[in-house]
Amino acid sequence: MGRIFLVRHGQADLFGADYDRLSDLGRRQAERVGMALVAQGVEPAVIASGALVRQADTARFLAQTAGWAAPVEIDADFDEYRHEDLFAAAFPEFADHAAVAAHVAKAPHPRAAFQHLFEQAFARWLGGATREGGLSWAGFRARALAATRRVASRCGRGESAVVVTSGGVIAAIAQALLGAPDAEVLKLHNPIYNGSISRLMTRGDTVALSGFNDVSHLRDETLTYR
């Protein structure tokens, strides 16, 4: 059997002008992932990442830390949904990230305020009331699972792959493999930490979930969700 290590990107700059970049903590989290995987003896045959900057930079930093020679391959099917698009569909007054950031910055607890809006917008997507980038949630999930199976098909017996992606993609893959209903997706999505590692076992393009949201390598770091 083969293995896929699904890594959530490091912390991004949630309230900055450009969300799609790593914070300093996000870079440290990425480096800790690299050290943890090396300590486990991982030498991946494939290193893949979504096309988003925060995903690709996480992959680059962890691979550099690990000293792996394999190049980082970009596969946009591992891209995260755009929360801006979900917000704009559910709340027209929040048409871009700057509008959302300005709104939640006024709240006593900005991250909690962001999470409240996010869950409302995400629930509308799950329920079919909105689409993101033209995709339903089912379409997004199918795209993520197909990308995972493509990587799995390249992992021979005893081989490993490392895939850097985002919380929504990891939740979609876990949902599909567990057969969980859409109503339970946020219970998978919300607890996924930045820099966490989830594990898949593979045989050909058959994939099974064997570990979820491991952050033991970040025990002396500040743990973050967003």
Domains, the chain:
2-81+135-218 (3.40.50.1240), 82-131 (no CATH)
The mean per-residue pLDDT over the stretch 90-114 comes to 81
User: pLDDT averaged over the chain?
Assistant: 92
**pLDDT grade for 160, boundaries at 50, 70 and 90:** very high
Greater pLDDT, 195 or 108? 195
What is the per-residue pLDDT for 2?
Answer: 97
Overall pTM surpassing 0.85 (yes/no): yes
Which residues are CB-neighbours of 138 under 8 A, at least 6 positions away?
Answer: none
Greater pLDDT, 159 or 87? 159
Greater pLDDT, 175 or 104? 175
Greater pLDDT, 108 or 165? 165
Whether 5 has a pLDDT exceeding 70, the answer reads yes
d(CA 78, CA 170): 9
The percent of residues in the chain predicted with pLDDT above 70, rounded, is 98
Contact 50, 21 (CB under 8 A): no
What CA dihedral angle connects 103, 107, 111 and 117, to 10 degrees?
-50
d(CA 120, CA 98): 19
SS3 212: strand
**pLDDT grade for 177, boundaries at 50, 70 and 90:** very high
Whether 101 has a pLDDT exceeding 90, the answer reads no
d(CA 87, CA 97): 9
Whether 96 has a pLDDT exceeding 80, the answer reads no
What is the per-residue pLDDT for 172?
Answer: 98
